[in-house]
Structure 1
Amino acid sequence: MSKLAEFRAAEKALAEQLAHLDSLKKSSALQREIEFEEKLKKLMAEHAKSLRDVVAILDPDSARTNTTLAARPGRRQRTVKVYKNPHTGEVVETKGGNQKTLKSWKAEYGSDTVESWLQG
């Protein structure tokens, strides 16, 4: 694509974006949301409350889940794995592979064999 064609395409896209922005500015729904946000911020400042405080008041359960997720952003929770030794009937529940009994089983029977004991 030539530079001129690229320029005209970008110019056209910009004009479309500006038209869309203008229609949003005229939207009564947007005006109501802006007004609500301003009133909410004023009310929060008046009562010395943060957004977290407001969320905790309105949805107390979300505070519990958000703090655990915020502790390690980008990491998912580990799932519990249950292994059952068919020789002894012993059951081990673990979230990771660094469990004492599981390690001893892997040393004795082999990693692949122990992994086959994983319960569904």
Structure 2
Amino acid sequence: MSIIAEYKALEAQIAEQQKRLEALKGDEKLKREIEFESKLRGLLAEYNYSLKNVIALLDPQASKGAAAPKGARKERALKTYKNPNNGEVVETKGGNHKILKAWKEQYGAETVDGWLQ
């Protein structure tokens, strides 16, 4: 793109943005929001409060954070293994199951992992 074409394109974009800005300046809803924000900020300054203080006052749980507490982990999914040789079923949430370990020793880990339902 030539530099003059780029200049004209930018000029057109600026003109469009100025039209949108003028339209917003006349919007009553925007005027009310601006008035509310300025009054709120004035009130906060008058009482020496910040937005964080107000949020903590109105919603104490929000200041603690929505994330899970440290050390908490997602619950493990229940896994079901069925031995095709004898039809025995083992349900476990971890790999530290006595029968499952014996199967892996006897048949091999890859084979037993294939029995996962």
Structure 2 equivalent of residue 12 of structure 1: 12
Structure 2 equivalent of residue 86 of structure 1: 81
Over residues 11-44 of structure 1, what are the superposed CA-to-partner deviations in whole Å (9 max), with x where a residue is unaligned?
A: 1011100111122122221111111011111222
Over residues 26-79 of structure 1, what are the superposed CA-to-partner deviations in whole Å (9 max), with x where a residue is unaligned?
A: 222111111101111122222232212222333445444x4528x9xxxxxx75
Structure 2 equivalent of residue 74 of structure 1: none
Structure 1 equivalent of residue 86 of structure 2: none
Unpaired stretches in structure 1, ≥5 consecutive residues = 72-77, 94-99
Bigger-Rg structure (1/2): 2
Change (3 A) 1:52 1:2: same
TM-score of the two chains, using structure 1 as the length reference: 0.58
| 1:21 is aligned to 2:21 | yes
Structure 2 equivalent of residue 31 of structure 1: 31
Over residues 82-120 of structure 1, what are the superposed CA-to-partner deviations in whole Å (9 max), with x where a residue is unaligned?
A: 132526634226xxxxxx739x96xx424x927x45xxx
More divergent stretch after superposition (49-58 vs 23-32): 49-58
Change (3 A) 1:82 1:36: same
Change (3 A) 1:29 1:92: same
Tell me the distance in 1 between the aligned counterparts of 2:7 and 2:75: 55
How many residue pairs end up in the alignment? 100
List, as ranges, runs of 4+ consecutive aligned residues in structure 1 with deviation greater than 6 Å: none
Change (3 A) 1:4 1:79: farther
Please give the residue correspondences for 1:1-120 in structure 2 after superposition, counting only pairs within 5 Å: 1-64=1-64, 66-68=65-67, 79-86=74-81, 89-92=90-93, 101=96, 108=104, 109-110=109-110, 113=113, 116=116
Structure 2 equivalent of residue 96 of structure 1: none
Tell me the distance in 1 between the aligned counterparts of 2:62 and 2:67: 10
Q: Supply the AA of the counterpart residue of 1:48.
A: N
